[in-house]
Amino acid sequence: MRAVGHAVESILIALNQAGLKIAARTLRAWCAPAGPGNGPAVRTVSDAQVEDAVRQLAFTMNAAGDRVLAPEGLYGRRKMLALIRKTVLPEAGFGAVDRAMRSLGLNGVVRGRRPRTTIPNPADKRAADLLNRDFTAPAPDHKWITDFTYVRTYQSFTYVAFIVDCFSQKIVGWHASIKRDVELVDVPLRMALWRRGHEGTPVGRDQLICHSDAGSQYTSVRFTEHLHLEGIQPSIGSVGDAYDNALMETINGLYKAECIRTRVFHDGPYRTISDVEYATASWVEWYNNRRLHSSLGIISPTEYETAHYADTEPVAD
């Protein structure tokens, strides 16, 4: 038709009037010979690769064959970029990750406010604050922090207590109970001590400080005597001051935001304490061994401790 004087635009006008809408640039791109100048833009290709990587890391398949959010789907832009560069695409850019997450409807989890759970007993004698808001440590098992929060279930309130190592922010012990008693905070201590011994790094006497708030469970005679028998120095912050145990408050907030308020670790409502225990165990395993921590250089607590011991262990002759 071009040979008899018909241009591309005039033909397309006639086709559009007939209901077949085609743009001139679409027709020219289709008719153009294949070549490097006629392929998709570099950004289009890279964005598609990054979106595929985000989809692969942020979603998984459940037992029913449905696509559900994976724990890594809780990351925001910065950690998702670090994960993609670490595992799939070392050259991925922040803008491409941002566009991919917006395309997939991912925003990262947002923490909420933490309710008050521990009630101090003004009659109890409390240990001094040995940390003074310094939550850094030169090595593992020098400073532990502990606290508990609660989860609503159909059956009752479930209280979950954690113990965290300040050096690596690793959760070394935890326990869930429907009772807010001394056993709630004493079980994580026994678990943490056993775990360190099981890992081959037992806690030495008089090397560890265990810091908590002024809750009556932590100032009880039983818990204080347990610390004394294990050679652990107790440390307790002031009453009503969350900053004295700020790192533990942060981790409690992460637990509620990432584990309890999402369906990543438990699909559906929490009916009994067993549901809470199952979800918490899955979250702790992910938190310790796979979750990327900004304060640790975008690696997991387990990797951080492994690197520490690799540098400090003596070399065999």
Name the average pLDDT for the chain.
88
- How much is the pLDDT for 122? 54
Average pLDDT of 39-66?
88
In the chain the first and final C-alpha atoms are separated, in Å, by 87
Phi-psi region for residue 11, left (φ > 0), alpha (ψ -120 to 50) or beta?
alpha
Tell me what the mean pLDDT of segment 254-279 comes to: 94
What pLDDT, on the 0 to 100 scale, is given for residue 302?
96
Cα gap 24→198, rounded to integer Å: 71
* pLDDT over 90 (residue 237): no
Structure tokens given for 47: 């964005």
C-alpha to C-alpha distance for 277 and 69, rounded to whole angstroms: 20
Residue 66 has pLDDT above 90, yes or no: no
pLDDT tier, 42 (very low <50, low <70, confident <90, very high otherwise): confident
Instruction: Say whether pTM exceeds 0.75.
Output: yes
Instruction: Check whether 124 has a pLDDT greater than 80.
Output: no
Look up residue 176 and give its two tokens. 């869930």
Query: Which pLDDT tens digit goes with each residue over 137-164?
Result: 999 999 999 999 999 999 899 999 999 9
- Residue 65, pLDDT above cutoff 90: no
Q: Please report which confidence band the pLDDT of residue 317 belongs to, taking 50, 70 and 90 as the band edges.
A: very low
* Predicted confidence (pLDDT) at residue 248 exceeds the cutoff of 50: yes
User: What is residue 40's predicted lDDT score, i.e. its pLDDT?
Assistant: 74
- Give the chain as a DSSP string: -GGGT--HHHHHHHHHHTT----HHHHHHHHSPPSGGGS--HHHHHHHHHHHHHHHHHEEE-TTS-EEE-GGGG--HHHHHHHHHHHT-TT--HHHHHHHHHHHT-------PPPP---B-TTS-----SSTT----SSTTSEEEEEEEEEE-SSSEEEEEEEEETTT--EEEEEEESS-SHHHHHHHHHHHHHHHHHTT-PPPTTSEEEEE-SBTTTTSHHHHHHHHHTTEEEEE--TT-GGGGHHHHHHHHHIIIIIISSSSSSSS---SHHHHHHHHHHHHHHHHHT--BGGGTSB-HHHHHHHHHHHHSPPP-
pLDDT, tens digit (0-9, with 9 covering 90-100), for 188-229 = 999 999 999 999 999 999 999 999 998 889 999 999 999 999
Q: What number is the average pLDDT over the span 239-253?
A: 83
Mean pLDDT of 119-137: 76
Average pLDDT over residues 90-116: 82
Answer yes or no: is pLDDT of 115 > 80: no
